[in-house]
Amino acid sequence: MGPTIKDVAKKANVSTATVSRILNDLPGYSKETKEKVMKVIEELGYQPNAVARGLVSKRTQTIGVLFPDVSSMFSSEILNGIEDTAHELGSSVIVCNTDRDGKRTMKYLQLLQEKRVDGVIFTSEVLTEEYYETLMDMQVPVVLVSTASYRYPLPYVKVDDKHAAYTATEYLIQNGHTQIAMISGRKEDPIAGAPRVEGYKQALSDYGIPIHEESIVYTDGFGFQQGQESFPRIAEKLPEVTAVFAASDEMAVGAMSAAYQLGIQIPDQLSIIGYDNLKIAEMSIPPLTTVAQPLYQMGEVAAKLLNEMLRTGSSVESRIMPHHIVERCTVKRMK
């Protein structure tokens, strides 16, 4: 193996304590010894052992992050923000792909516990009691991203889903649309499901537009396929619709794909607005108008909050992140 702090101490004729002090720049050594030690470190190519350090300091400078699907554009953008920030703050991140599987999630939580990570960021899934319990056991700070829990007092960072959905729908209305359908995710999803539907309804209601339950199609996810499959249903049943609000960009793009197959021109014959502002939104044809979630920043903020909790030992406030409409080319101005 490589040289240890002992080797350095010996060669520099000092104690390991002194070397340690220098390494952690704690007070207690002369300029000369520091120089001498640094030189030896250089010569030996000494690299401190973070594992040993972690054993005594009880800090591993590592955080764990759980994603339902690391390879999704959604998750990877958040990961990017977390990683950049954690790195800046001197921590590494261990990624965990839960695959939306309870068993697997629990296994990961346990793993993270054994690895003694300093904290964990839990994203996009609903926090079950089981998760919460073991998270509490771990005795480490936790922050939720793109999810929240009403039952458990954990800080979260997310946009206001209802509000964002309201904004999206309102945008459609302000562009002259009144026959607006919605492609929703899972009805039962307490985070990305129901609230967005509520926001949609609220906007219609506030603008005096009647709400028709048949205008909402519920799916079992937020993917391209769900959008693609559900669009024909609305195209067929609701021919009078001029605009649709999709609860995710992937669904929006799926819907556009289906519309294309059906020979429906977007935005000429039908307007569509998405939700998320993933990379794909600007790459679609035509580019997708959408309500943006600041995913990168959400990751960034989460990492910072975690760090803050670590540093101060106290808890922090949740953060409602701002959302905003990104106007591109899929919504037509009516009238």
Q: Where along the sequence are the contacts to DNA (CB under 7 A)? A: 1, 4-6, 13-21, 23-24, 26-30, 32-33, 48-49, 52-53, 55-57
Buried b (16+ CB within 10 A) or exposed e, 207-224: eebeeeeebbbbbeebbb
> For residue 107, how many C-alpha atoms fall within 13 Å in the half-sphere facing its CB?
9
In degrees to the nearest 10, what's the CA dihedral of 284, 285, 289, 290? Answer: -20
Contact string 199-238 vs a second copy (x = CB under 8 A): -------------------------x--------------
- Cβ proximity to DNA: between 25 and 213 the closer is 25
**Number of Cβ within a 10 Å radius of residue 237:** 13
| Site for a second copy contains 248 (CB under 8 A) | no
- Distance (Å, rounded) from C-alpha 256 to C-alpha 209? 25
Containing H/E element for 143? strand 142-145
Shortest distance (Å) from residue 84 CB to DNA: 25
Picked from DNA, a second copy, none, the partner binding residue 27 (CB below 5 to 8 A depending on kind) is: DNA
| Site for a second copy contains 297 (CB under 8 A) | no
3-state secondary structure of 66: strand
- Cβ proximity to a second copy: between 15 and 49 the closer is 49
Shortest distance (Å) from residue 14 CB to a second copy: 21
Picked from DNA, a second copy, none, the partner binding residue 30 (CB below 5 to 8 A depending on kind) is: DNA
Picked from a second copy, DNA, none, the partner binding residue 6 (CB below 5 to 8 A depending on kind) is: DNA
In degrees to the nearest 10, what's the CA dihedral of 308, 298, 160, 327? Answer: 150
Q: Which stretch binds a second copy (CB under 8 A): 34-42, 112-120, 153-161, 196-204?
A: 112-120
Buried b (16+ CB within 10 A) or exposed e, 177-188: bbbbbbbbbbee
Shortest distance (Å) from residue 91 CB to DNA: 16
Picked from DNA, a second copy, none, the partner binding residue 110 (CB below 5 to 8 A depending on kind) is: a second copy
255: exposed, middle or buried (C-beta count within 10 Å: 0-12, 13-18, 19+)?
A: buried
Shortest distance (Å) from residue 110 CB to DNA: 13
